[in-house]
Structure 1
């Protein structure tokens, strides 16, 4: 692992000041806390399972290190803790009784609950990671179910993050696999940023790009070793996940680490896919299937020479906003998702003249852009192999979807974020539906 790389990234972070990732890191909890929260008291926050895994030790080290502590706040081990707003309200109610800094001991759900609760009680917090399961440890915002659907709530990233590699290696394999899938999704999200940059929609930030993409191939190179529990592979995974979060802080946007593959996941999460499982279907597993789906779409797109696109035909077929709004509303059955999809789709809608200008630019840049995309992307089949080797689901059926539902997701996911991705490119050129149809017809990627 490159501590130099992480320390360099911290220089551009807005919230996080310290990241410690090493074997035996739990022994340093008191020192890291004291350095980053001088004169403060601590309160350990965990669920019953994570408290047994690492919370008890964190509490012991804090006390022996001379840190004043409050009684730990421990959510029940069963049922599995879910990131819903009522759990934030419970924690906020407890935190309002003192001024201690929360030390969240857990992974994605617990971190998000503590992150938002700390924000609502106007204090920083620290995270002790227990699984390399997602890139949110060092990211701002918390993914929480509120008012009937998943949404990202405002809150800063932790001031300090500590991860003991021996604890991460011992975590449930599904959690490690989910983190791998989340990290591998940066392949397709990077491609989406290349597209947005080439078309003048959102220029690439060199530092934001470097923090995620420069080390990505190395971090995801050996899924077999990760599945076997090798510490070196775990070092790479947690470094990549932490760097992704720090990149979001530096760029003040998730564009550095999230593209169309996350739109697939966000749509499914908004509809409650896999929530009734125990444990619930992870964010990373949904991102993994989304990444394969998006990479397969890129392959169909790259099979076409868009330098020869009939721009006037595409502009002539382009619907008006009222027509788009009607179509967007028809794609969603949940009122909350429908409203959000209309809002997000309206934000990125362009009229005929602006579309013509964009597509003319596309014709000009396609020879260079297509070369960059081919160089950057991994084949969908290779992504599928890597995910399977890491222990991730790779088919829609494994996450509870039919092929028909997956096929419809391509157009539905387009509507839920204003971020420009390959879904928008295919839609604006008028080839989205035919490209997707090719993926599902006999001999197509999803028919194999």
Structure 2
């Protein structure tokens, strides 16, 4: 892939915006970690902090150390010691404490949590950072969006800056645990939902939409689809193609300035599950793994909504009871409820006036919704692909109980003010019915 088509340039787009991405270098291939020296010397960095955990140090960190020593680059080793690294205040505090004041470059060696945490610190401390990927596990490598768990609430921080260089050595990527590789597949499959919801929100709420960026995200999906057969054998060409697709998805987010092209209702479900797992002290599956399962659930919800809208059933009059809703949120979110309640106080997305306004527009676009829903893949197609690579596709496979699944369908939309299938079903007065229906449907899949 010629990354010069996407980086280090400004693109005047037909959408009316100018797109750009601040990443200087992307190198995905064989022995690309050697490129670190060239990139470091190009900018003249003098004091480097290499951030690893005990797994990523073995996977690629020691290779990074060797390259830096060979080039006589001064660096500190910062190893996060926790068995499970969580992107929260504790991890951020440890990094701030360990990174020397004179550091002018952070090299993050890892994937999801290490990348997100180092981006956050890079932005706050105004220090450039590179990322050496150790697994094709998520689409955040090239993003300037950082999801963190702050005050027990999954919070997305936008415009947090980019890695100046992204390196993905295909030999390292191909040796990643298979669960990390399949998590990347799940994260990309989520694009079916979020791209549909981006178009849907453009129709219903007038939200900004860019066909050019949509096309970039579709290219990321194609890169994945053409590589699926090579995943079980850990084919390096397939690993490179998946990594390229994941980085490309991040570039698309960067062009827009938020996560809209890459995150929709499937991510809301995943984030809700994550919060509940952490609150209950349960093992939390990988982000992309949750997104893959969330994609199957979202596809079933689209099928449900399509039937309702095709039936010409009249929409009910909105009747939002805020007091009952507040009690439900406190029960559904536990210690995370204050952040959710605060969001609704600011945006009033559930108010009768807001719902009525959206329903009036939806009434005019019933056929458009049906077309969008028909264009989505059948849940069975995604399930077949996940089976091929032995990835989870059912909620129960990742510890999501029927009760948690229903709660997530009904309440996960409250995490963001972002229109999608969950808000649409709420507006139509069908969200609880849809949750019951999908919970029964998913039990029938083997």
1:319 offset after TM fit, Å?
A: 2.0
The equivalent residue for 2:16 is none
- Number of equivalenced pairs: 436
- C-alpha change, 1:370 and 1:218, in structure 2 (3 Å) is farther
Quote the Cα distance in structure 1 between the aligned partners of 2:438 and 2:151. Answer: 35
Deviations 1:184-242 (A, max 9, x none): 11111111112111213413222332221244134234434213211232122111211
Aligned residue runs from structure 1 range 189-200, under 5 A = 189-200=194-205
2:263 to 251, 258, 261: 258
Q: Secondary structure of 1:20's match?
A: strand
**Aligned pair in 2 of structure 1 residues 328, 27: CA closer, same or farther (>3 Å)?**
same
In structure 1, the partner of 2:422 is 423
Partner residue of 2:30? 23
Q: For the structure 1 residues 361 and 130, does the alpha-carbon distance in structure 2 shift closer, same or farther, using more than 3 Å as the test? A: same
TM-score normalised by the chain length of structure 2: 0.89
Q: Do 1:307 and 1:367's aligned partners in 2 also have CA atoms closer than 8 Å? A: no
> C-alpha displacement at 1:415, in angstroms?
1.8
Which residue in the other structure is 1:165 paired with? 170
List alignment gaps of at least 5 residues for structure 1: none
Deviation string 1:137-179 (CA, Å, 9 cap, x unpaired) is 1112433333334433463221111111111011111111111
Q: How does 1:261-340 map to 2 (within 5 A)?
A: 261-273=266-278, 280-306=284-310, 308-311=312-315, 314-315=316-317, 318-320=318-320, 322-323=322-323, 325-326=325-326, 328-335=328-335, 337-340=336-339
8 Å contact kept, 1:208–1:247: yes
- In the alignment, the residues of structure 2 paired with residue 364 and residue 289 of structure 1 have an alpha-carbon distance, to the nearest angstrom, of 32
Closer/same/farther in 2, CA of residues 298 and 399 from structure 1, 3 Å limit: same
8 Å CA contact 2:223, 2:242 repeated in 1: no
1:211 to 1:184, Cα distance in 2 relative to 1, 3 A: same
Q: Deviations over 1:329-383 (max 9, x none)?
A: 3542423x212222334415265455444323222222133113312x1111211
CA distance, structure 2, for counterparts of residue 9 and residue 22 of structure 1: 23
Q: How far off is 1:399 after superposition?
A: 1.1
Structure 2 distance, partners of 1:70, 1:445, is 51
Distance change (3 Å), C-alpha of 1:148 and 1:215: closer
Unmatched 5+ residue regions in structure 2? 12-18
Normalised to the residue count of structure 1, the TM-score between the two structures is: 0.89
Partner residue of 1:51 out of 48, 54, 57: 57
User: 2 CA distance for matches of 1:217 and 1:436?
Assistant: 31
SS at match of 1:167: helix
2:119 corresponds to 1:100: no
Distance 1:39 1:351, change over 3 A: closer
- How far is 1:259 from its partner? 0.2
**Is contact 1:42-1:100 (8 Å) kept?**
yes
The farther-off stretch of 356-365 and 101-110 is: 356-365
Measured after TM superposition, the shift of residue 98 of structure 1 is: 2.3
SS in 2 for 1:45: strand
The aligned residue for residue 434 of structure 1 is 433
For residue 231 of structure 1, what is the aligned residue in structure 2? 236
Structure 1 contact 198–369 (Cα < 8 Å) conserved? no
Residues 67-78 of structure 1: matches in 2 within 5 Å? 68-76=73-81
Matches within 5 A, 1:202-241: 202-241=207-246
2:67 — aligned with what?
Answer: 61
- Please, what is the CA RMSD of the aligned residues? 2.6
Aligned residue in 1 for 2:15: none
State the SS of the aligned residue for 2:75.
coil
Q: Once the 2 structures are TM-superposed, how far is the Cα of residue 397 of structure 1 from its aligned partner?
A: 1.6
Superimposed CA distance per residue, residues 250-299 of structure 1 (whole angstroms, 9 cap, x where no aligned partner): 11110010000000111112223598567x42111111111111011101
- Partner of 2:148, secondary structure, is strand
Which aligned pairs between 1:402-413 and structure 2 lie closer than 5 A?
Answer: 402-413=401-412
